Amino acid sequence: QAPVVESGGGSVQTGGSLKLSCRGSGYKYTSGCAGWFRQAPGNERELVATISRLGTPTYATFVKGRFTISKDYHTNTLYLQMDNLEPDDTAMYYCAADLARRNVCSQSVSSFGYWGLGTQVTISS
């Protein structure tokens, strides 16, 4: 089983909300950066958001203030709250964790060593 496991995907209409969760098993979110990525059919996997060891978030430009990344240390769970969803947000969403003990998170997919299996997010018009 993957050390991080996503859940919370689904289908909603434009303008709706979803909250994705990623429970860490073989990884502690206190040890390094964690993030969310997404991949639509025919596209490359792209960064959505990262959060540092200290909780500092970064977001891709397309987020436009609509998403919030957070983590719960007690349950060792990473979250992505997504509001005002758009059809272009439709993709498979993956949580990921960086094995390196970085103080500033990388924005590159290649920097993340732990990956979940993905959860599908579908936004209808």
Q: How far apart are CA 42 and CA 53, in angstroms?
A: 32
User: What pLDDT score does 32 carry?
Assistant: 87
Q: How far apart are CA 75 and CA 125, in angstroms?
A: 35
pLDDT by residue, tens only, the chain of 125 residues: 568 889 999 999 999 999 999 998 877 777 889 999 999 999 999 999 999 988 999 999 999 999 999 999 899 999 999 999 999 999 999 999 988 888 889 999 999 999 999 999 999 99
User: What pLDDT score does 51 carry?
Assistant: 95
User: What pLDDT score does 2 carry?
Assistant: 66
User: What pLDDT score does 110 carry?
Assistant: 93
